[in-house]
Copies of this chain bind each other. A is one copy, B any other.
Amino acid sequence: METSATIAAARSLFGDRLSLNQTIRETHAHGEANAANTLPDAVIFPETTGEISQLLALCHANRTPVTPFGAGTSLEGHVTPVAGGISLDLTRMNRILAVNDADLDGRVEAGVTRKQLNTYLRDHGLFFPVDPGADCTIGGMCATRASGTNAVRYGTIRDNVLGLRAVLADGTIVDTGGRVRKSATGYDLTRLLIGSEGTLGIITEIQLRLYGIPEAIGAAVCGFATERGAIDAVIEIMQTGIPVARIEYADPDQMAVSIAYSKLDLIAQPTLLFEFHGTARGVAEQAAMAEAITAAHGGQSFAFATETEARNKLWQARHDAYWAARAAFPGHGAFSTDTIVPISNLAEAMEQARESVTASGLRACIVGHVGDGNFHVLILYPDTADGAARAWALDREIVGQALDLGGAASGEHGVGIGKREFMMREHGASALAMMRSIKSALDPRGILNPGKMFLD
């Protein structure tokens, strides 16, 4: 691969926005995954789709690998340039291009972050609901098919993108979808690019669905005698059709560390956190219905709050779950599994995971976006090579259990490097061959984010 030829030619296009600096290359060698780092040969900071098109035409001609980079919050190694080449940093493409109040849509460049967008939207009385926790870029969320705590009501990023602009491997600029709410014409290229992890094209602009900020927001927390009781309550709440905006689970281990870290006046027991959106009356009614259902399943202390301060404290504690666990185990590494199962198998999946944790001799906390059946085991391991290896082995075991229970190897973190080995088991040989044949058709030289998604 003639990367040096690409770099030489790209320098005249990008000037000092092409960097060979060691420190800059090092910050583009990894996301937040535990995977090994690999340095790119150069980091390029494009400012327009047209520039990316020119660069990719060069890379295509020279067979130079290109790995896109956003906020660097990937947990599965997506942004690590395992084959070297160019790290394409999209963070300078951070313009909010349009907000249409009447249509409840907007258009952003790929480097706009979630928090930047929501800050901007506040004056419009609008918000963008997909919330993976980290302040990731919207482009990165599209590439990894992100979701998060609001997905149970508002859907994942997949459901909230109307169209994309992307640059294909040979530099072709493509516009997919459009501004309409739905369309019945042509292949769904938008959904094909969402979750393709930079292996089919570089997403540069996104047309998003937006939502009015709800008139009222309420939160509630409820402890349970048993984990099964908590999950059964979730199942009944979903069946009843209560339009809960968030419904999160924390197990007693997570609650113990969060109570200490966030100074919560709660008990370390299986716990559900709720958020309700609607009118003031609607929120109160939703909460009352949820309370009645929790009580029937061993819920012991349904506490409802509409005051902003009380709500924020609770949800901040949820967002800090990771840091609470880290603080409780100083000197330990942390590793988050990410599996999803049909909700009817969720209690079983969490029980199996906990048994595996015990057998491994490691410690762990469990949190879950339980409305979706998605849960994370936060594994704490002694910060040694052996400790990391044991955590990795435990993760592999938990993923296997989820797959055996009809689940998927990742609910929201993606495949990247870390989940490639499960693709065959989850999707089967035929679907995997179909994916590879699409990849070959669209990127015949394999320059786009090589080493991700598929085992070579």
Contact = CB atoms under 8 A, between A and B. Distances in A.
Interface string A221-263: 0000000000000010011110100000000000000000000
A180 interface: yes
A413 B173 CA distance: 28
A185 B412 CA distance: 8
Given A100-B342, A243-B243, A435 B186 contact: yes
Contacts of A174: 428, 430-431, 434
Given A240-B212, A243-B243, A441-B441, A185 B431 contact: no
Contacts of A285: 279, 281-282
A144 interface: yes
Given A178-B406, A372-B182, A342 B103 contact: yes
Interface of A: 100-105, 125, 144-147, 151, 155-156, 158-159, 168, 172-176, 178-189, 191-192, 194-196, 200, 211-212, 214-215, 235, 238-241, 243, 277-279, 281-282, 285, 289, 338, 340-344, 372-374, 406-415, 419, 422-423, 426-428, 430-435, 437-442, 453
Given A181-B372, A406-B179, A155 B159 contact: yes
B187 A196 contact: yes
Count of this chain's copies in the oligomeric assembly:
2
A290 to B, nearest CB: 12
Nearest to A277: B241
A238 B182 CA distance: 16
B239 A183 contact: no
- Which 7 A/B pairs are nearest by Cβ-Cβ distance? A191-B191, A441-B441, A183-B408, A102-B344, A174-B430, A184-B410, A181-B372
Contacts of A212: 239-241
Contacts of A423: 185-186
A440 to B, nearest CB: 7
A373 B181 contact: yes
A175 B438 contact: no
A285 B282 CA distance: 8
Given A125-B239, A215-B241, A440-B441, 20 more contacts: A101-B239, A104-B238, A145-B184, A156-B182, A172-B434, A174-B428, A175-B431, A176-B431, A179-B406, A180-B407, A181-B374, A183-B408, A183-B411, A185-B427, A189-B434, A191-B191, A192-B438, A241-B277, A437-B441, A438-B442
A285 B215 CA distance: 14
Contacts of A441: 437-438, 440-441
B182 A147 contact: yes
A353 to B, nearest CB: 16
A426 to B, nearest CB: 6
B103 A344 contact: yes
B104 A239 contact: yes
Given A188-B191, A426-B185, A103 B343 contact: yes
A176 B211 CA distance: 30
Contacts of A277: 241
Contacts of A442: 434, 437-438
Contacts of A145: 182-184, 188
Contacts of A211: 241
A387 B411 CA distance: 54
Contacts of A410: 183-185
A435 B189 contact: yes
Contacts of A103: 342-344
A419 B183 CA distance: 12
Most B C-beta atoms less than 10 A away, residue of A175, A342, A409: A342
A432 B428 CA distance: 29
Contacts of A422: 185
Contact of A184 (B185, B415, B433): B415
Nearest to A339: B180
A58 B18 CA distance: 54
A145 B408 CA distance: 25
A187 B179 contact: no
Contact of A411 (B104, B125, B184): B184
Given A104-B239, A431-B175, A182 B412 contact: yes
